[in-house]
Copies of this chain bind each other. A is one copy, B any other.
Amino acid sequence: MPKNRPMTENPAPLSPLPPGSTIGILGSGQLGRMLALAAANLGFRTHIFSPDGFPDGSSGHSPAGQVAHAETVAAYDDLEAIARFGDTVDVATYEFENVPAETAAELARHTRLFPAARALDVAQDRLTEKTFLTSIGQMTAPFKPVDTLEDLGAAASEIGLPAVLKTRRLGYDGKGQMIIRTESELEDACTAMKGAPSILEGFIPFDCEISVIAARAHTGATITWTPGENIHRDHILSATIVPARVSDKTIAAARAAAENILTELGYVGVIGIEFFVMKDETILINEIAPRVHNSGHWTEAACTISQFEQHIRAICGWPLIPPGRHSDAIMYNLIGPDIEKWPKIAEMEDVLLTLYGKTEARAGRKMAHATRLFAKGSLHSKDDLPLTL
């Protein structure tokens, strides 16, 4: 066993869960919805745990609840509801990494939970995450924990500026973080964090961001999909280009890093791992998401098996299937009013469209995605790709 191997063990091997069993999913957004549809395709029933009911509290309103066999509407910290929910399902999983620790622990007392709590611990706290990653030999931005202005000054001296101050917990899509460019900004930045435990990270002048979607089975077998290149707008993923336009060496390094992380976590399920790629082809890990991932939505259109079905197979103790990528692809997120373009997109012969069943197109809300397919091998290293639909 490698020296730095975390002490958590794999859960005991699960014999394959038979079709007709019920899968519990914490969270009821589009990821839960696409997991529920994939589960149905394999003959499983699904039970969604959702804080999002109709105004009268009844079920069937959320994107996932609309297509599930059952939905419990309750708050994530309602541990009695979590216990009852756990008792009705044969295995449970989640669509988001910020499941409260007590919720995960209570659920794990009532059913099998995959990925296991260790993955949540690591992914919920940027300090724990980066400490884990460096302990297993992966590279990240330089980082230091910051609780006080004094810590921040010391961290800034050591890491250098510019640097990025982030809350350790609950940040996503650019929320809860700020760039510090000069020493004069340190105090304001510290105040803005309102005492939340934080982390200062070196500013990474990366060339591009790529991500690897990968899966691990109970047996320890892993598969990785070809890395995609992520394009952001306003800190939200806008498009993913597959394959990423990086060298074969970088692609191999990212896939190897993903396999290493899955193995060291004793992980079961699909994971999304984001990397910064530097000019010199070095890769640094930005973050890991212990769930199906927005940058993996292209798998549904361009592969024989989607990330959603692979996740269901993994958590149910079924063998994984090779990705079977048959096309290059660009996946576009349709965010807020972008959804109004659906009639135009529906007419595009090379585009597969997936909508999430959301009625209100609020600004910043992910409403749908569309994947444009290209002949395999035709996208690599192109400069003039269509980055919007």
Given contact pairs A16-B346, A326-B327, A353 touches B69 in the complex (Cβ within 8 A): no
Asked if A41 lies at the interface with its beta carbon under 8 angstroms from chain B, I say: yes
Q: Is the CB of B346 within 8 A of A43?
A: no
Q: Which chain B residues border A305 with CB–CB below 8 Å?
A: 352
Contact with B along A33-57 (1 / 0, CB 8 A): 1000100111101000000000000
| A216 CA / B174 CA spacing, docked (Å) | 46
Most buried by B among A67, A301, A321, A355: A67
B355 touches A19 (CB 8 A): yes
Cross-chain contact B357 with A43 (CB below 8 angstroms): yes
Copies in the complex: 2
Interface 1/0s, chain A 341-372, versus B by CB < 8 A?
Answer: 01100110100111111010000000010000
In the complex, chain A residues 1-38 whose Cβ is within 8 Å of any chain B Cβ: 16, 18-20, 33, 37
Query: Beta-carbon contacts of A287-309 to B below 8 Å, as 1s and 0s?
Result: 00000000000000100110000
Residue interface mask A318-332, B partner, CB < 8 A = 1: 110110101100000
Structural contact, A301 and B301, CB atoms closer than 8 A = no
Question: Does A60 sit within 8 A of B, measured CB to CB?
Answer: yes
Asked if A66 CB lies within 8 Å of chain B CBs, one says yes
Complex Cα spacing A43 to B352, Å: 13
Indicate if A242 sits at the interface (CB-CB under 8 A): no
Which listed residue, B43, B319, B349, B356, touches A355 by the CB 8 Å rule? Answer: B43
A373 within 8 A of B: yes
Knowing A69-B66, A318-B346, A319-B347 are in contact, say whether A354-B20 is a contact too (CB < 8 A).
no
The chain B residue sitting closest to A326, CB to CB, is B326
Question: Is B41 within 8 A of A40, CB to CB?
Answer: no
